[in-house]
Amino acid sequence: MHDLDEVDTKLLRLLQHDCSLSNKELSYRLNKSITAVHERVKKLKNAGYIKHTVAILDRKKVGIDLISFSQVFLKAHTAEVLNEFEEQVLGFSEVMECYQIAGSYDFMLRIATTDMEAYHTFLRQKLAVLPHVHTVQTYFVLSETKSQTAYPI
């Protein structure tokens, strides 16, 4: 938060929790003019602080009943292999997040599917058949205690 003042930080907090707030509502909460708020939001977007503005859906209402986390270990660890794996994973709609990690495995994936059968199909027809995948170990979510998108700023 290098170049952010207190108003920018407050604005980001508000938008993280409800990006549908109008500039009028934001200006009221920040005690700034609508024009000033509009310019600040524009500045924060241009500077890359705000990457996307999205609606967060109720996954169960849209038919996503299974969340899993898969640890992936690759056969080789060259830059070319790692980059190739990342590029391939980008094309999988089931993969919600992909992190290269330190430890026993190379990548951690958060995968969203409709059910166990859909996950099984994803694993056998997409993930496990990638040329450099050695091992996949998957954990299935039984319950969700906390899921948050807002960073503590």
pLDDT tens-place values along the chain, 153 residues long: 568 999 999 999 999 999 999 999 999 999 999 999 999 999 999 999 999 999 999 999 999 999 999 999 999 999 999 999 999 999 999 999 999 999 999 999 999 999 999 999 999 999 999 999 999 999 999 999 999 999 999
Q: What distances in angstroms separate CA 58 from CA 9, 12, 148, one per listed residue? A: 27, 23, 13
pTM for this predicted structure: 0.87
**Which amino acid makes up residue 139?**
Y
- The CATH 1.10.10 portion of the chain extends over 6-46
The packing angle between helices 23-30 and 34-46, to 10°, is 100
- The CATH 3.30.70.920 portion of the chain extends over 66-140
CATH for 6-46? Answer: 1.10.10
Which fold does the domain 66-140 belong to in CATH? Alpha-Beta Plaits (3.30.70)
Q: In what order do the strands lie in the sheet with 133-140?
A: 95-100, 107-113, 66-74, 133-140
